Amino acid sequence: MDSNTSYNFPEILSSFDLEGSVAEIKPFGSGHINSTFYLKNAIEDRPDYLLQRINHYVFKDVAALSNNIKLVTDHLRKKISLQGNADPQREVLNMLPAKTGLYYHQDEQGNYWRIYHYLKGTKSYDLLETAQQAYEGGKAFGRFQALLADMDSSLLAETIPNFHNIEYRLDNFDKALENDPLSRSKECLPEIDFIKARTQTMCTILNLGRQGKLPLRITHNDTKFNNVLLDQNDKAQCVIDLDTVMPGYTAYDFGDAIRTIINTAEEDEKDLSKIGLNVDLFKAYTRGYLSETINFLSSEEFKALIYGALLLPYMQAVRFLTDHLDGDNYFKIHFPGHNLQRARAQLQLLKNLEENRELLESLIYEIADDLRASKERGPNT
Ligand code: ADP
Ligand code: GN1
Ligand code: MG
Q: Is 350 helix (H, G, I), strand (E, B) or coil?
A: helix
CATH 3.30.200.20 domain range(s) in the chain = 4-60+94-117
Cross-strand pairs, 247: 218
Q: What CA–CA distance (Å, rounded) separates 50 from 307?
A: 35
Ligand 2 neighbour 58 (Cβ under 6 A): yes
CATH 3.90.1200.10 domain range(s) in the chain = 131-377
Q: Does domain 131-377 have CATH number 3.90.1200.10?
A: yes
User: pLDDT grade, residue 24 (50/70/90)?
Assistant: very high
Chain centroid offset of residue 143 CA? 15
Inform me whether the pLDDT recorded for 297 exceeds 90: yes
pLDDT one-digit tens code per residue, 314-361: 999 999 999 999 999 999 999 999 999 999 999 999 999 999 999 999
Q: Average pLDDT, stretch 116-121?
A: 96
Inform me whether the pLDDT recorded for 1 exceeds 50: no
Ligand 2 neighbour 241 (Cβ under 6 A): yes
- Residues 6 or more apart whose CB falls under 8 angstroms from that of 211 comprise none
Sign of CA dihedral 183, 187, 191, 197: positive
pLDDT > 90 fraction of the chain, expressed in percent and rounded: 93
Count the Cβ atoms, other than its own, within 10 Å of residue 320.
28
Query: What pLDDT shows up at residue 378?
Result: 76
In contact, 323 and 174? CB cutoff 8 Å: no
**Which of 124, 220, 330, when mutated, tests ligand 1's pocket best, judged by the most ligand atoms within 8 Å of its CB?**
124
In contact, 165 and 315? CB cutoff 8 Å: no
Inform me whether the pLDDT recorded for 294 exceeds 60: yes
Q: What CA–CA distance (Å, rounded) separates 373 from 288?
A: 15
Buried b (16+ CB within 10 A) or exposed e, 258-267: bbbbbbebeb
Helices then strands, each counted (H, E), the chain: 12, 9
Start-to-end CA span in the chain (Å): 57
More confident residue, 80 or 376: 80
Going from the C-alpha of 155 to that of each of 70, 166, 211, 307, the distances in angstroms are 11, 24, 24, 28
Q: What CA–CA distance (Å, rounded) separates 112 from 65?
A: 11
Q: Does domain 4-60+94-117 have CATH number 3.30.200.20?
A: yes
pLDDT one-digit tens code per residue, 232-256: 999 999 999 999 999 999 999 999 9
Query: What pLDDT shows up at residue 377?
Result: 79
Query: What pLDDT shows up at residue 4?
Result: 46
Amino acid at residue number 369: D
Q: Is 29 helix (H, G, I), strand (E, B) or coil?
A: coil
pLDDT one-digit tens code per residue, 244-290: 999 999 999 999 999 999 999 999 999 999 999 999 999 999 999 99
Return phi, psi of residue 86, to 5°: -95, 155
Ligand 2 neighbour 260 (Cβ under 6 A): no
| Range list of H helices, 25-130 | 62-81, 88-91
Residue nearest to atom 18 of ligand 2 (CA): 32
Q: What CA–CA distance (Å, rounded) separates 145 from 250?
A: 8
Ligand 2 neighbour 267 (Cβ under 6 A): yes
Going from the C-alpha of 115 to that of each of 24, 39, 53, 75, 97, the distances in angstroms are 15, 10, 9, 19, 8
In contact, 106 and 255? CB cutoff 8 Å: no
Query: What pLDDT shows up at residue 379?
Result: 66
Ligand 2 neighbour 32 (Cβ under 6 A): yes
Ligand 1 neighbour 341 (Cβ under 6 A): no
Q: What CA–CA distance (Å, rounded) separates 124 from 141?
A: 14
* Averaged confidence pLDDT in the chain: 95
Query: What pLDDT shows up at residue 380?
Result: 57
Tell how far the Cα of 246 is from the centroid of ligand 2, in angstroms. Answer: 15
Q: Average pLDDT, stretch 148-175?
A: 95
- Residues 6 or more apart whose CB falls under 8 angstroms from that of 286 comprise 138, 258, 363, 364, 367
